[in-house]
Structure 1
Amino acid sequence: MKLEPAEMTPVINRIKRAQGQLNGILRMLEEGRECEDVVTQVAAVSRALDKAGFAIVSIGLQQALNSPEGMRALDLQRMEKLFLSLA
């Protein structure tokens, strides 16, 4: 199932913020910052990417349910597999 780009704007923005956080983590490592500070930022990026993944699955499910042919069993299984891959 293809995602509608117009509906992905919030997800794209979240991923761009995470990308900025990753750049910050690289700088922190290069500067020799404290382990706790770096790990805190890594955890924040991880949570942001998890949320982006869940949002993508959610939007995909909404699109499938609103499509003219409805949600086929195969689509449902694929979406469930995607959802579980984020856990």
Structure 2
Amino acid sequence: MQIINVSKRRRCAFQEIPVLSPHEFSTLMLIKNATSQSDFDQADLLALADREFITIDLPEASVTPRLTDRGHALLARLGGAPL
């Protein structure tokens, strides 16, 4: 049996891309198309913000998520939004 030292393996480009759950991806699309404050799942918002696809503005009592350039680029690559 051969033991592979993971720390010495090369990383492929696919390992650098964060994987979104279907629910996170749909939340990203809903944020892009939101015309008013919507009730988004906090866990999805935090995951998207952690991956830098959105920013979260916290004015007074409401949460206003906005797409970052990275979020717009992801949706454009996947056919969800024009650049």
Q: Same fold (TM over 0.5)?
A: no
Higher helix fraction (1 or 2): 1
The TM-score with structure 2 as length reference comes to: 0.29
The higher relative CO (CA closer than 8 Å, separation ≥ 6) is in 1
Higher strand fraction (1 or 2): 2
The TM-score with structure 1 as length reference comes to: 0.28
